[in-house]
Amino acid sequence: MADFGNDFGAEAPADAPAADAISVNSTEDPAAARKAQEAADLARVKEAGWNNRIPFNYTTVEGGTPAPDETRDGVEWLSDAAIYAWDDDFGEIGPANPALERELYFDENLTRVGKLIQALKFEVTVEGKERVHPVREFDDAGLHPQMRENVRLCQYGQPTAIQSYCIPAVLTGHDVVACAQTGSGKTAAYLIPILSKLMGKARMLAAPRPNPTRYNPATDRVRAEPLVLVVCPTRELACQIFDEARRLCYRTMLRPCVIYGGAPTRNQREQLEMGCDILVATPGRLMDFMNNLSLLSLSRLKFTVIDEADELLSSGWEEAMEKIFGGGGMYTNEDADHTYLMFSATFPKSARRLARDYMEEDFVKIKVGRVGSTHENIKQHVIYVEESAKNQALFDLIFSDSPQRTLIFVNSKFKADSVDDFLYNKGLPTTSIHSDRTQREREDALRAFRTAKCPIMVATGVSARGLDVANIKHVINYDLPSSMHDGITEYIHRIGRTARIGNEGKATSFYNDRNEDIAEDLVKILIESKQEVPDFLQDKMPADGKVEWKDGTDDESDDGFGGAAGGDAGGEFGGGFGGGFDAGGDAGGDSGVQADDGGLQADDGGFQADAGFGADADNKVASW
């Protein structure tokens, strides 16, 4: 039976011939040989327990035409997904909606916290003028009662490391820059405190809008004036954040919307014209809508969040970010009550400059683990495969394990199509996604992958950035990313699609001489995460066995932004960012630096807290 987190696998029919019972005679004519090989492949697929493949010819589908019914669910566009229907006659909290609850919280395809969350250990570093006291339980975080209930419905247990620090930092009004590993719960880390702060205040802060239960589009349309703006680089990530906002806004009057390119503007305009409190957007569509001041105004913004900031700023959106952050008041609320949050896998100069120019001086920087690292829950394997042998190696690799949700990465759109075709012609239930697909096709492909109708997906790295799909058990790098295209950083993003928030998974990478440029960094990642280094990469091992990173992505000393928190254990944490704190607890200089092992005790699933928050007199490092 297939391992998709549900029962989507297809048992082999009792009368199906075994794969090895079908012979392929090479002496036959080519057409007959191909037909016999196809029959053998189909028999092997059925015998293994894979779903039946779903035919879908992308070349015959018009841009707005949906995929065949069997690959789709009932939602036309992800931006039209159901949200809680608020009635002005409700009090502060609306009544429960059992049907919507089932859709929001009890979908078997949602990612749940895994058992191995207890085994994860991270070093957490916090820099800022004020000490941030981490929360170990959501009930102790001072959240609004309805937010606590929504967190419970989401089945979140204890806060993850990034949530433990980010929630109190936002609740106490700080601007935040956060760097954390992929799959660590970053979206909830900012949405939970932001939405909690707004709950109960929405009537006072929100713009006038029609009663959704009696809305007449001919007469009741309003200008959208959101209180929260979340900007992210990809359409798929925008829809994921919107889904999380739908869950966390449940039973409140806070109304989330999402806008992104590729989908019809009409649908998204209609959603905005009903009013919007939480706006999730990709930058291109956001800039288009911002130019229409009768449709969208950011003058009421209280919170701006830039998610995957490094990706946004490296993709040519720096000017757009400047406009969103500033704009001379024409576009954005620049009052002191506007909180800015920036989440990034790395912290490049462009992100540091944006933070320095627009954030308050007392902003908090939270770093979980080494920037650009991974963790031990992902079992990494690197195998040597020549280019000409990759297709057969992929086919054999897929059959080396039971059917499971598998994500395959390639480096080009052409390769995505060709690998998809190869696997489909072998009888496997596969789909693909890349930027040349229409938005309709991209959403259809993702739905098919999420629901395991097509449990194998071939993707380019950019198209799957930030993708969060439950129970991805295996990530395969058919092509390793080159150093010209983010190299090891892209590798980390890719393999981070599996083993999310305490689950486990594996990542297999095909390596050959073309990947020499990434070899040394790949070996460092394997060593750092305690994985086996294959024989053909042994010559790339550090001479002294120690892993040192010199990528400069988190070095702030060259930008006037601050110095690295380090130096001698007996001295102070220096640099332009500020000083440090004394081991006895007295503040020294302008900035406090906290460090935390972020460990999770196996016996109770909570963070290690043997002696509470304290400081080591020798190392001047706080621990808890």
What is the percent of the chain with per-residue pLDDT over 90, rounded to a whole number? 44
| Contact status, residue 467 vs residue 433, Cβ threshold 8 Å | no
- 124-208+223-368 domain in CATH 3.40.50.300? yes
Q: What is d(CA 152, CA 148) in angstroms, rounded to the nearest whole number?
A: 6
Residues whose CB is less than 8 angstroms from the CB of residue 268 and which lie 6 or more positions away in sequence, other chains included: 79, 257, 258, 259, 260, 285, 289
Residue 532: is its pLDDT beyond 90?
Answer: yes
pLDDT in tens, 62-111: 444 444 444 434 447 888 899 999 998 898 899 999 999 999 998 766 65
Tens of pLDDT, residues 374-433: 667 889 999 999 999 999 999 999 999 999 999 999 999 999 999 999 999 999 999 999
Residue 2 makes CB contacts below 8 A (sequence gap 6+) with 8, 9, 10, 49, 50, 51, 402, 403, 404, 452, 455
CATH number of 1-78+378-541: 3.40.50.300
Q: Tell me: the pLDDT tens digits for 11-48? A: 443 444 444 444 445 556 788 888 888 888 888 888 88
- Percent of the chain exceeding pLDDT 70 equals 74
Q: How far apart are CA 303 and CA 169, in angstroms?
A: 13
Q: What is the pLDDT of residue 375?
A: 63
Q: Look at residue 52 in the predicted model and tell me its pLDDT.
A: 84
Domain limits of the chain?
Answer: 1-78+378-541, 124-208+223-368
First-to-last alpha carbon distance for the chain, in angstroms, is: 44
User: What pLDDT does residue 451 have?
Assistant: 87
Question: What kind and span of H or E run contains 46?
Answer: helix 30-48
**What DSSP designation does 300 have?**
T
Q: Per-residue pLDDT for 171 more than 70? A: yes
Q: What is the mean pLDDT of residues 181-205?
A: 90
Per the CB < 8 A criterion, the answer to whether 599 and 121 are in contact is: yes
pLDDT value at position 538? 95
pLDDT of 241 reads: 95
CA neighbor of 129 nearest in space, from 160, 169, 178: 169
In the prediction, which pLDDT does 331 show? 62
8 A C-beta contact, residue 209 and residue 216: no
Distance CA 378, CA 498 (A): 7
Q: State the pLDDT at residue 19.
A: 44
The count of other CB atoms within 10 Å of the CB of residue 160 is 28
* Mean per-residue pLDDT, 140-155: 96
386 touches 512 (CB < 8 A): yes
